[in-house]
Chain A
Amino acid sequence: MATLDAKIPEGPLKDKWTNYLNSMKLVSPANKKKLDVIVVGTGIAGSPAAATLAQLGYNVKVFCYQDSPRRAHSVAAQGGINASKNYRNDGDGVYRHFYDMIKGGDYRARESNVYRAAEVSNGIIDQLTAQGVPFAREYGGQITTRSFGGVQVSRTFYAQGQTGQQVLLGSYSALRRMIAKGKVQMYERRQMLELVIKDGHARGIIARNLLTGELERHTAHAVVLATGGYGTIYYLSTLGVTSSGSAAMIAYRNGAFFGNPSFIQIHPTCIPQLSDFQSKLTLMSESLRNDGRIWVPKEQGDKRNPNDIPEEERDYYLERRYPAFGNLVPRDVASRAAKERCDAGYGVGKTGQAVYLDFKHAIKEQGAKAIGSKYGNLFELYEKITGESPYETPMRIYPAGHYTMGGLWVDYELMTTIPGLFAIGEANFSDHGANRLGASSLMQGAGDGYFILPNTIGNYLSDKIKTSRLSTEEPEFEEAEKRVREKLEKLININGSQTAASFHKRLGKIMWDHCGMLRSEEGLKQARTEVRELKQEFWNDLQVPGTLSELNQELEKAVRVADFLDMSQLLIEDALNRHESCGGHFRQEYQTEAGEALRDDENYMYVAAWEYQGEDQMPRLHKEQLTFEFVEVKERTYK
């Protein structure tokens, strides 16, 4: 059994990373040339990791699913990226940044990792600026910032509502530079379908060429997964429709522990579902809550035009319930509050599943032009989808599945329980506890990719300089490829009558209803049964047209849905196991009188790390006990 040693360095919090860097083993430039690293995924973690590893001198092979690394879904992050530079002189600093994240995550994250994430954040802004990322600026030429939920300082750097795009393209350009230099071999349109393990160490992958169907064997001394989150488990989410949990599930089935799988962030401000055939929900950046005010009518079922509802008949419920943070409470709190109002019959719009986000006051105070310069593209995006202008009518918003705090369990070095297999960015579980604060996903991904992994992986590889390249003719490659081939043949030969998407839609509804914003023992047990039945139906009645040896998008979907079915079972067990509410994990049975999350620190102050025990078998739980030496653990309040 793998042991759960997080390998946290000794010393005071602020010295841990420095101590680590000072004592880690290095690989000499001459030896780096002999070492191969595979990076899967090219988002805001994978691209900078690959570029930086190549600059250091390793041979890097990069894999992405799309036709270009620039299309990874980090591109869709909107509002910003945090750093504790304290440009505003508003009392910010690394410790406060760390504290906000620990509290924001409801005391379910590892102190040492979170502190390090805050510590490296400033360097990310420097690096991206040098790469030509056009952050928003003041007239004096200095970079400006704004505020995000769950904090009382202004530490979010941004480029209108397209920060993710600008930041990703900065890292992508760094990656392309290394490709041009011949230091990175880029494999586009590939999907990783199996991990190759020899003597307990990750030594390569099997990838499918999505254009030809050919299964390829790739060897390496270490494998890095930067494959993002699995919020598309709900079918409808803010993610790209090809985002999946498949790589994480491959790692899990091969023995990597899965940390807190059910910790999923439901983002409070998304354009509500408008119809049954909808394939995707669109995020409206949290930055809008800097100036927008959230409300519902005080009267249940009030169908008047929102502009006709006078001030005294509006309930600005976030300002009412949380006067200290108001509209800028963290996402989990804002999402639950919206659901509470809608469930109680105060929701607006055709379905009653929406609340208003209103810019009337901000436009009156600052003028339409100033508001447009901050949020113009978001307002346009909203209008394109709904046909209504937020300059004139309040936006209608509702929560949607967004980000997964859960992910592959990693130690301080970002290595999973499989030696040589690393997980970075959203793919790991590490820094956000039970709830992520806004603008910290780009930060964590970029921090892992630029500054953390390129160092920690060296500590691992320093032992491997005498290890020769594993031949792809070895039996481990042979067997891994055989497993992939069998699985694909099984999928394509079911010859049933239902499409992969129809199964995904049904699975998404089960998970959204019972393992989404609100969970209960009864609901989760019902979901457990429903998912088991759906999984059986899937393997008996799936229809995949075409062949294995061509571009076959339906086959790709089927692979994703098959993994989501297995993953759902894992999520449900994790949510059932945790008899408490914390952050985004809200169990109906465990709440305060005021309806806030009620933690049970005595029994659940741990990371639940699950070990695979075989198909449909109950996974085995390992606990990483969390200790808080540097913050006082309190009730998390934003009142």
Chain B
Amino acid sequence: MKVKLKIWRQPNARSKGKFVDYDLDDISPEMSFLEMLDALNTRLIQQGDDPVAYEHDCREGICGSCGLFINGRPHGPEREVATCQLHMRSFRDGDTIVVEPWRAKAFPVIKDLVVDRSAFEKIMDAGGFVSVDTGSAPEANTTPVKKQNAERAFDAGVCIGCGACVAACKNSSASLFVAAKISQLALLPQGKAEAQRRALNMVARMEELGFGSCTSTEACEVECPKSISLDHIARMNREYLRASFSEEKD
């Protein structure tokens, strides 16, 4: 099949970027989207041009490295997939495909389709953990955990940190990412002791880093490759409110 690509090219953070057109005419529908980009890059290298920079690693939708904004949607047209799991069979012969990096103030472009997502790390540092040193844990079955809660915590815990929620949001809010971690740990007895300060600190850090606020458009849930539910944002808000009124907060 043939496709026309419009790809965002930007040599580095300091220079201005622009769309560049590329025509590919020997694409197989079985190719993954990234394999299609590999084919383009092979051609560019052989022509002596600079290949398109993009991030990827596991190519099975779990590491969260790949994140491309394809035809106006994070990770492209299919639901519940990361870019690496998208296949060319999702496009039609002759399609024009627009490929951009994540667009968000908190995710500056590094080169072409590569952005800096280190703001997520800084949010994690504000409390995305249980403070337990190695060796001090009690026997694992000492504290029973309701099966439903363990499953809900898992459903939040599957976040791959790709940033699609931010890219999908008109406010560039990181609420779904932050809520997934707050909710996972709040659902488990192991995370309860720090639940309040975690909610307050992670939300504050998110705001400091230039992410917008949540206005419940639900775009993040639709575009999340792991279908993380908006319910977790509701739980985050409850945790945050409860913590705001608590006398125990520090």
A residues touching B (Cβ–Cβ < 8 Å)?
A: 48, 51-52, 55, 66-68, 70-71, 73, 75-76, 85, 87, 123, 125-143, 159-160, 162, 164-166, 169, 173-174, 176-177, 179-180, 186, 188, 211, 240-243, 274-275, 277-280, 282-283, 380-381, 384-385, 387, 450-451, 454, 497, 499, 501-502, 543, 545-546, 550-551, 553-554
Question: Which residues of chain B (120-164) have a CB below 8 Å from chain A?
Answer: 120-121, 124-126, 128-141, 144-147, 150-151, 153-154, 157-158, 160-161
Give 24 A-B contacts (CB < 8 Å), ordered by A residue. A48-B134, A68-B120, A68-B161, A71-B63, A85-B140, A126-B140, A127-B132, A134-B157, A137-B146, A162-B154, A165-B62, A166-B154, A176-B129, A177-B129, A188-B121, A275-B30, A279-B34, A282-B59, A380-B80, A385-B85, A385-B87, A454-B134, A501-B42, A554-B51
Contact between A126 and B111, CB atoms less than 8 A apart: no
CB distance from B89 to the nearest CB of A (A): 8
Name B137's closest neighbour in chain A (CB-CB). Answer: A130
In the assembly, what is the distance between CA of A126 and CA of B63, in Å? 25
- Residues of A close to B161: CB separation below 8 A: 68, 70-71
Inter-chain contacts of B44 with A (CB < 8 A): 545
A126–B138 touching, CB < 8 Å: yes
Residues of B within 8 A of A127 (CB): 132, 134-135, 137
CA distance A166 to B62 in the complex (A): 11
Which 8 A-B pairs rank lowest in CB-CB distance, beginning with the nearest? A141-B144, A130-B137, A173-B129, A180-B125, A240-B57, A129-B140, A134-B153, A280-B59
9 more contacts with CB within 8 A, not counting A134-B153, A240-B59, A241-B56, are A66-B63, A67-B55, A123-B135, A165-B157, A166-B157, A381-B61, A450-B134, A497-B46, A551-B53
A270 CB, nearest partner CB in chain B, Å: 11
Give chain B residues whose Cβ lies under 8 Å from the Cβ of A142. Answer: 141, 144
Report chain A residues within 8 Å CB of B63. 66, 71, 73, 75-76, 240
Cα–Cα distance between A130 and B46 once the two chains are bound (Å):
52
Q: Is B218 an interface residue (CB 8 A)?
A: no
B117 at the interface (CB under 8 A from A): yes
The answer to whether A71 touches B129, judged by C-beta atoms less than 8 angstroms apart, is no
Query: Is B126 touching A180 in the complex (CB atoms < 8 A)?
Result: yes
CB distance from A57 to the nearest CB of B (A): 11
CA distance A545 to B43 in the complex (A): 12
How many pairs of A and B residues are in contact by the CB < 8 Å rule? 212
Size category, B interface: 35 or more
Residues of A within 8 A of B110 (CB): 211, 551
A55 to B137, CA, bound (A): 14
Q: For A282, list chain B residues within 8 Å (CB).
A: 59-60
Nearest opposing residue in chain B for A380, CB measure: B80
B234 within 8 A of A: no
Question: Which one of B1-9, B96-104, B184-192 is at the interface?
Answer: B184-192
Nearest residue, chain A, Cβ from B153: A134
- Residues from chain B with a CB closer than 8 A to the CB of A553 are 51, 53
A174 to B62 Cα, complex, angstroms: 20
Enumerate B92-122 residues with CB–CB distance to A below 8 Å.
Answer: 110-111, 114, 116-118, 120-121
> Cβ of B30: which chain A residues have Cβ within 8 Å of it?
274-275
Q: How far is the CA of A75 from the CA of B59 in the complex (A)?
A: 12
Cβ contact within 8 Å between A165 and B158: yes
In the complex, B32 has a CB within 8 A of chain A? yes
